[in-house]
Structure formats: structure tokens, C-alpha cells
Amino acid sequence: MFEWIKKLFSKSKEKVEKKVERSYVEKLIQNWEMSKSRKMMITGEDYYRGKQDILNKKRLVRNEKGDLVENFALVNHKIIDNQYSKLVDQKVNYLVGKPISFKSKDEKYAEELQKIFDKNFHRKFKYLTENALNNGVGWLHPYYDNEGNFKLRQFEPSEILPIYKDKDKEELEMVIRVYKEAVLGTYETIEKVEVYKKNGIDRYVRKRGVCSLECENIPYVIFTEGEEEKPFNWAKIPFIPFRYNQQEIPLIARVKSLQDAINTIVSNFQDNVTEDIRNTIFVLVNFGGEDPADFRRDLQDGIIKVNAVEGISGDVKTLQVEVNSENYKTILEMLKKAIIENGRGFDAKDDRMSNNPNQMNIQSMYADIDLDANNMETEFQASFEQLLWFVNVHLRKDKDPTLEVIFDRDVLVNEGQTIENIVKSVGIISEETLVSMHPFVVDPKAELERMKKEKEEKINQYPEAFGNGPGDPDVKEE
């Protein structure tokens, strides 16, 4: 009797806790959707893809009441000169344009890592870096597929709401993913919510802000032994943030106003050049009763009827308004220079790159992007440390303190000067270091093997050159 009552109260308590948790999740999602940080994420993605504020440009005039209204008769160019996407692509290819590599005293372990972080991962990692720049953070999710293969998946940052245990954002309490899924056979979509916790995944369907539980505590991994299925969960939440910076501020926050100004200057210039009638101011003589709107409409036909009024002839005089293209060009150059400096990129058309630039000029041109890349690499190195925890669990390996994750930056170099410096350094530093720094070498390890093989072949050929090879008649065998 009492046991039944205990079970009843236990179930009731569990239901209340679930209801509270669901309400908590609903409130978190509601606040997050309206947050400035998420709106900035969406703005960053839109601007990268060319969906920018200039597309909402209107030509306004004042009506008889003095109110501003849109004038659809005026030409209205909406031109996008997407310097922002160029900045993002520069940074992505500078930092992760070449595959990352691993260096460890345990060469077998490094080879196993290289198999996981293959070319497919490199392509995925470039998209992840792009997400980090556009959104302030990119997310990587380790998981096992239906065939038991260890995989890495990235999610759209605007779908991910992380809840941290600490202010430093070092340990996740849970991760909420909000996304839309198409309904098969229809044009409709439903909104789904996934809550990732240490004890598994809870799934909800969300309608009008209310979450309905579909299933709960779904294990992250299910291993099958014969007919028996064994569920397992990770000891940590399987989400790794790759941050653009510590504050997770996206690149668009630095340069949006400059990108908008560039679009406005180019669009307005095109409006002024195209709109010939607007480049001329008309002075009406003895046209006191003429409606300016009617006059301009007649002007579009190219014919004006001039009548004499009380013996005084009517006349039309013009004042020409010249569009000074040099002013637009100067302002545009200033804005493009400003967006490169504020976005910490580089100008490939820089005067320092003319003729035969030395390495100091090249380094000077790359100074800003190198500074930003250093900050990104610091964040990414910390993220790889978290990611390698999951990889090591999969490989059943302990943490390797000697492991180095190497980002091979895609930097323009003066090859002649670099080779000259390498030649001068022979005998001062190791051959391995010299080979790794040579601009013609792609794989230093393979190059060292080829060099070793060539040396052995030359040593074998050396005795033959002096007649001491095998089969020589002058050689006496004992």
C-alpha cells in the first residue's frame, strides 16, 4: 500500500520536474531568438551571401504636405560591392587554406589522427572557420553513425544555443538546437528542438513557442553485441565551439557600416550618372502658372511649348549639374582602405607588392591579418584540445603531451630570398628544419626520405667510379 503511494508521488514529482525543465527550455529559446547576438549571426551570414541593407534602398521625395514618400519614377540602383565576403575568404584561406597537420613523438598516433582529419575534414573545417567569422563561433559535433563510424558534423551557429556552467564558457551544461524540418510530401515545415545533456538527448516539437516532448534520454551511442544493445553516453557534452575571438563577436560587427557606405556610394553614383534629367536644373521664365510636375512630364517627351504672356516671351534656361566622378572615386578608395584596416585583412594590390617585393614588405602587408589569425589560432588550438578528448576516447588513447596541432598558413613569400636564406643556414640548423622551410617542398618527411635514398645511391655508385665495383678484374678477392 505505502510502496504504491511512494511510487505515485515519485512519478508526480518526476512529471513536475519535466514540466519545469520544458518551461525553462521554452523561455531560453524565446530570449535567445530575440537576442542581439543571434540577429548579428544572421546578419553576418546574409552579408556574406550578398543579402545586404542596400537592397532595401528607396528614393524619397517630399509631397505637397511635406511628408517623405517613395518616388518610383526615379532610377534606383541597388549595387552590392561585397568587400565583406572578400575579407572572410581571405581569412579562411590564410589560416586554413592548407590542411592542418599533427606532430608527435608517437608517429603511429599522429598517423591515426591524420586518417581522421583527412581531406574531407579539411573541407568541412574551412566551412567551420567561415562560420566562426560570420557568426562569431562555429560548432563541431562528434558522433557515431549507424555503421559505428566515428564522424564529425557541423551545425549552423544560428541553430545552436549553448548553456554554460561557468562565466568563462569552459564547460557546457547543455546545448539546445532549434531547427526546421520539412514534412515529407508537403511544402510545410515543422520546428524541432533537441536538448543535448550528459544523460542523453531530449527531442521536442515546437509550435507557437510551446515544446511538446517526443522522446527523452536518447543515448549518444548504442553498441550491439549479438542481439543485445548497450546504450552509452559521453562523459562530456559532445559539442566543441570554434570561436573567432573570446567574446564571439562576428567580423560583420566591425565592418557593417563601412560595407553599407560602399554600397551606398556606388549605387548613388550610378543613379546620378543614369538620371540625365536630374543632372540639369531648369529655370522657367514667365511660366508662373506651370505645375513643375506637369513640366517635367512634358520634358520626358523632349518637347516644350513656349508661349508669350502679355507681350513677354516665355523661356526655359538650364543650369548644368556635373557629376564629379573623382569625388566618388576618392571616397570609395577611402572606404575600401578603411574596411581592410578595420577588418584586419590585406590589400593584394598594395604598392608594396610592385616590382620584386622583399620579405619585409610582404610581412608588413600581412601584419594585420597575421594579428587576427594569431588570435583565431589561439582559440582554435583550445578547441582542438577539447575535440581531441573525444578522438582519444574513440581511439582508446591517453592524452599525448607531445602532440602539436600545426596550422600551415598560406603566406606569400619571396621564394628567391627564402632559398638564399636556407643556403646560408646550412650547418647552423638541422636539415629537417631547412627542408620544412623550403618553398618547393610540400611534404618535408617524404622529401627527407627521398634525399636519404639519393645519398645511399650515390654512396653505392662511388666505389664503381674508381674501379672497385663488383666484378672488377683488379680487385683481389681473399
Render pLDDT for 407-435 as a digit per residue (tens, 0 to 9): 988 765 555 666 777 777 887 888 878 77
Residues 227 and 272 in one domain: no
Model confidence at 115: pLDDT above 70: yes
Kindly report each contact of residues 148-157 with a partner whose C-beta sits within 8 Å and lies 24 or more positions away, as own/partner: 148/223, 150/116, 150/391, 150/394, 152/121, 152/124, 152/387, 154/124, 154/127, 154/128, 156/131, 157/41, 157/131
Model confidence at 101: pLDDT above 50: yes
| CA-closest candidate to residue 326, choices 261, 265, 279, 276 | 265
Percentage of the chain lying above the pLDDT 90 cut: 48
> Is 143 part of any domain?
no
Helix (H) or strand (E) holding 69: strand 68-70
Residues 278 and 329 in one domain: yes
Residues 423 and 455 in one domain: yes
Query: Can you give the pLDDT at residue 306?
Result: 57
Nine-digit cell string for 378: 589561439
Residues 215 and 289 in one domain: no
> Is 238 part of any domain?
yes
Look at the block and give the residue holding cell 514529482: 13
Residues 343 and 270 in one domain: yes
Query: Can you give the pLDDT at residue 441?
Result: 76
Task: Please count the structural domains in the chain.
Answer: 3
130-148 pLDDT, tens digit per residue, is: 999 999 999 999 999 988 8
Q: Any idea what the Cα angle at residue 86 is, between residues 82 and 87, rounded to 5°?
A: 115
Query: Can you give the pLDDT at residue 153?
Result: 95
> Is 433 part of any domain?
yes
Report for 14-18, 376-380, 442-446: range of highest mean pLDDT: 376-380
Residues 462 and 428 in one domain: yes
Query: Can you give the pLDDT at residue 227?
Result: 77
Domain range for 436 is: 413-466
State the pTM of this model: 0.79
Last residue of a domain, one of 323, 340, 355: 355
Report for 59-63, 249-253, 355-359: range of highest mean pLDDT: 249-253
Last residue of a domain, one of 306, 335, 355: 355
Residues 348 and 287 in one domain: yes
> Is 58 part of any domain?
no
Model confidence at 445: pLDDT above 50: yes
Residues 276 and 228 in one domain: no
Helix (H) or strand (E) holding 282: strand 280-285
Last residue of a domain, one of 355, 372, 394: 355
- Alpha carbons within 13 angstroms on the beta-carbon side of residue 363 total 4
> Is 255 part of any domain?
no
Kindly report each contact of residues 30-36 with a partner whose C-beta sits within 8 Å and lies 24 or more positions away, as own/partner: 30/209, 32/161, 32/176, 33/178
| CA-closest candidate to residue 250, choices 474, 8, 37 | 37
Which one is predicted more confidently, 475 or 37?
37
171-228 pLDDT, tens digit per residue, is: 999 999 999 998 888 888 999 999 999 999 999 999 988 998 888 899 998 887 777 8
Query: Can you give the pLDDT at residue 302?
Result: 47
Span 436-465, average pLDDT: 76
Query: Can you give the pLDDT at residue 83?
Result: 97
Residue 10 binned pLDDT confidence (cut-offs 50, 70, 90): very low
Query: Can you give the pLDDT at residue 478?
Result: 46
What is the overall mean pLDDT for the chain?
83
> Is 373 part of any domain?
no
Which residues share a beta bridge with 205? 192, 212
Query: Can you give the pLDDT at residue 385?
Result: 95
Residues 224 and 294 in one domain: no
Span 62-87, average pLDDT: 89
Model confidence at 382: pLDDT above 70: yes
Residue 9 binned pLDDT confidence (cut-offs 50, 70, 90): very low
Residues 208 and 174 in one domain: yes
> Is 475 part of any domain?
no
Which one is predicted more confidently, 203 or 471?
203
Instruction: Please tell me the distance from the alpha carbon of residue 103 to that of residue 71, in angstroms, as a whole number.
Output: 64
> Is 52 part of any domain?
no
Query: Can you give the pLDDT at residue 74?
Result: 85
Residues 347 and 298 in one domain: yes
Model confidence at 54: pLDDT above 60: yes
Residues 236 and 270 in one domain: no
